Structure 1
Amino acid sequence: MDVTEPVTLKTLAGELGLNVSTVSRVINAEPGTEAKWASPATIRRIQELAHERGYARNPHAASLRTSRSDLVGVIVPRLQDYVLATIYEGIDAAAEASGRVTVVANSLDDPARQRLRTESLLARRVDGLIFGDAHQDSPYLDELAARGVPLTLVSRRRAGHVSVTCDDIAGGRLAATHLVSTGRRRFAVIAGARYASTTLDRVGGFLAVLAEHGIGESEVDLHYTGFDAPAGQRAIADILGTDTRPEAVFAVNDFAAIGAIGALQKRGISVPDDIAVVGYNDTPIAQAVNLTTVRSPMIEMGRLGFDKLLALIDKEAVDSERLTPEFVVRSTA
């Protein structure tokens, strides 16, 4: 055989003395399912010759046969966000293990951009979508589901859609329980954005514990400034502008908490002696600055979000899942 000629299923079948259909089914079978089409000895012969001849499976041709592209689209607010980048690592690892490829796009947490980037991915024939930027007040996810698009959510949840999140209500409760146990009674919360379930659930769990200890929501200083370090700095400027200084600050994101700590220290306020600070997620930078925080299982969130999407693509029944958080005590509270 002229080695310069392209290696095809037909040429492999000719050398092996087998039907092209048999060779095709073995090579294009999902891993572990090859035995449906041939004996172990025949499968080994096919695979060894394909490897020896440098045969490469044509994913485009395979997608035409199966109506699947083996591509999964992932929409995140920003890949520079460590939390979503870590969740994406879990998604991508699960995709690689299943022989799929992920394509990621940034929405910048803007619903119009989310729609634009999603439609672009759908035009490229992705088999399904994973969203890390779900908004509570946006109908677009409902529209996609009505169109029959398989999708799952990670990090944030939304009613009516399969999601994998941290149990953020439980996480908020852990933060409040710890702070109350240290004797603190005056609180401020850097709450993130109102459209995100992470805000609603973490703040809701936090306030529920305070209420159980006789501290009403009207007595808590809530600031919806965002999830990053500048948001934490802005919140501290607002908090210290009031007549009553809190004894503790709970931020629903580590980066907002770190921004808050920097702003407090700049004003000569000691953490935790004057004001304690608790964050959320337990990112590496939280460990570096000894931030007391709530740990969320980010990698596992991504893996499970991908696995549930595959189940939906295969028309299986799937339930949402909330993963257990863990409270990590360090030096800031």
Structure 2
Amino acid sequence: MKDEPITAPTSGRSRPVTLATVARHAQVHVSTASRALSDDPAGVGADTVRRVRELAAVLGYRRDVGAAGLRTGSSRLIGVLVPRLTDLVLASIYESIDAAASAAGYGTVVANTLDDPDHRRTRLDAMLSRRIDGVIIGDSHIGDTAAHELRRRGVPYVLVMRKLEGHLSVTTDDHRGGHLAAEHLLALGHRRVGVIAGDQLASTGRERTLGFRRAFESAGYPLPDAYVVESAFSTPSGLEAGRQLMQLPEPPTAIFAVHDLLALGAMGAIRDAGKRVGDDVALVGYNDLDLAATLPVPLTSIRSDLQRMGTLSVDALLRGFKGETASSVLLQPELIVRATTPPLRS
């Protein structure tokens, strides 16, 4: 076979470079070129794979992923359901999901569900119509049917951040995280404390609150219900819940917020009550977002490894694609102490 000169594609209405063109320049059969450009070039030598891919790049060849999906039954897409990407926790997890998926040769399609069942159903149906290969669910609730629906349809899925009994998940041990926050405040001498509890239908809000309350109860200081305020997972919700706590006849000397964004709102409520964060009212958040360490009064928080959580959720989903069995993962939380929880002044 006579070599042809290799030139980069020119602009204009030139014909698209075909796989046959790449194969001809690489002096291999078309089927060999196809395998060399695939995500799993089994049976093709490393030198051939490198040569074919380099030539494809020079020539401007692009694989038709849609056509490949029709042949293999795979879209190479992973769907991701999140309450909202304005939530920095979910945005951080999604970033690591997208990176891990890309490294494995998959794209991602993300949808905001707004923690609303009807909206979730619409977005999930839209994803399934695109023949996605699997779904990572970041917005599961008690009573939610999305995971059950995916199981019924035989679509691989994994829950991330939040969990539901009987479903594969990658989460943090949130009960332990709440316990760590309580142990820290108890050790500092706080006895009258409040909790901004988040959404109790979500495992994150429920288990963090439960772990905290059980630790105080075991220490002999059970929390009255008035000192536990449910909320959405947002800064305005943290402000409102914090105001409720600070308006109690005997306000708490410390507050545990089950999300750093809730803790930000609580800071505003403490300020509005004429108190100083840390000096007058201790504060503990959860997730240890990057902003926690950079606030005017750096926030004590319970750290969740958000990046690892996202990566492991993709790993679990990929195992499902291969027909392998994956187990749920429970990552360990870590207490990060900063200026919002100084020792009590005598």
Q: TM-score, normalised by structure 1?
A: 0.93
1:12 lines up with 2:22 in the alignment: yes
Q: Kindly tell me: are residues 16 and 245 of structure 1, through their superposed partners in 2, closer, same or farther at Cα, counting changes over 3 Å?
A: closer
Q: Tell me which amino acid in the other structure corresponds to 1:64.
A: L
Aligned residue in 2 for 1:329: 337
Distance 1:161 1:219, change over 3 A: closer
The answer to whether the 8 A contact 1:189-1:220 is kept is no
Residues 67 and 266 of structure 1: CA distance in aligned 2, closer, same or farther (over 3 Å): same
What secondary structure, in the 3-state scheme, does the structure 1 residue paired with 2:35 have? helix
Matched residue type, 2:317 = L
Are 1:69 and 2:78 counterparts? no
Instruction: Call closer, same or farther: CA 1:44–1:286 in 2, change over 3 Å.
Output: closer
Residue of structure 2 equivalent to 1:129: 135
1:97 is the counterpart of 2:115: no
Structure with larger RCO (C-alpha < 8 A, sep 6+): 1
Q: CA deviation at 1:81?
A: 0.6
Work out whether 1:38 is the aligned partner of 2:44. yes
Q: Which amino acid aligns with 2:137?
A: F
Matched, 1:149 2:142: no
**SS of 2:136 mapped into structure 1:** strand
Match of 2:318 among 303, 310, 315: 310
Q: Which amino acid aligns with 1:256?
A: L
Deviates more, 1:197-206 or 1:9-18: 9-18
Shift of 1:220: 6.8
Name the structure 2 match of 1:294: 302
Deviations 1:200-232, CA, capped at 9 Å, x for gaps: 110111112112201224477110022212112
The Cα shift of 1:122 comes to 0.9
**Cα shift at 1:243:** 2.4
- 203, 217, 224: which one aligns with 1:211: 217
Moved more, 198-207 or 225-234: 225-234
Distance between the aligned counterparts of 2:58 and 2:144, measured in 1? Answer: 53
1:270 Cα offset (Å):
2.5
Partner amino acid, structure 2, of 1:317 = T
Shift of the 54–213 alpha-carbon distance from structure 1 to 2, 3 Å rule, reads same
Q: Is the Cα contact below 8 Å between 2:39 and 2:105 reproduced in 1?
A: no
Q: State the match for 1:252 in structure 2.
A: 258
Could you tell me the percent identity over the aligned residues?
45
Unaligned stretches of 5+ residues in structure 2 = 342-346
Contact (CA 8 Å) 1:128, 1:151: kept in 2 or not?
yes
CA distance in 1, matches of 2:17, 2:128: 32
Partner of 2:344: none
Q: Are 2:23 and 1:23 aligned?
A: no
Q: CA shift at 1:44, angstroms? A: 4.1
Could you tell me which residue of structure 2 aligns to residue 186 of structure 1? 192
Structure 1 unmatched ranges of 5 or more: none
- State the TM-score, normalizing by the size of structure 2: 0.89
Counterpart check, 1:106 vs 2:112: yes
Q: CA offset at residue 248 of structure 1?
A: 1.2
**1:174 aligned to 2:180?**
yes
- In 1, the alpha carbon distance for the partners of 2:202 and 2:185 equals 24
